Amino acid sequence: MNRKQTLKRMKQDKKNKNTYEETNYVNRFVMTLGLVLIVLIGSYLIIGIFVTKTIKFGSEEVKEEKTEVSIDNTTILMGQVFDQKESDYYVLIYNPKDNSSIIKNWKQHYDLKTDGIKMYVVNSTDQLNKKYITKDDSNKNPTGYSDLKVKDPTLIKISNKSVSAYIEGDEQIVEALK
CATH of residue 164's domain is: 3.40.30
Both 102 and 161 in a single domain? Answer: yes
Both 48 and 90 in a single domain? Answer: no
Both 55 and 26 in a single domain? Answer: yes
In this prediction, residues 79-92 reach a mean pLDDT of 89
Domain that holds residue 57: 1-65
Residue 107: C-alpha distances to residues 82, 87, 102, 121 (Å): 20, 20, 9, 9
- The vertex-172 CA angle with 170 and 173, nearest 5°, equals 65
Q: Three-class SS of residue 176?
A: helix
| 27 falls within a domain | yes
Both 101 and 150 in a single domain? Answer: yes
Confidence band, pLDDT 50/70/90 cuts, at residue 101: confident
The DSSP 8-state label assigned to residue 116 in this structure reads S
Total structural domains within the chain: 2
- List the beta strands (DSSP E) in the chain: 75-76, 88-94, 119-123, 154-159, 162-168
| 70 falls within a domain | no
| 87 falls within a domain | yes
The structure's pTM equals 0.58
Q: Give the chain's end-to-end CA distance (angstroms, integer).
A: 121
| 25 falls within a domain | yes
**Strand ranges across the sheet with 75-76:** 75-76, 119-123, 88-94, 154-159, 162-168
Burial per residue of 28-43, b for 16 or more beta-carbon CB atoms within 10 angstroms, e otherwise: eeeeeeeeeeeeeeee
pLDDT digits (tens, 9 = 90+) for 119-174: 888 988 888 888 898 888 888 888 888 888 998 889 999 999 899 999 998 888 88
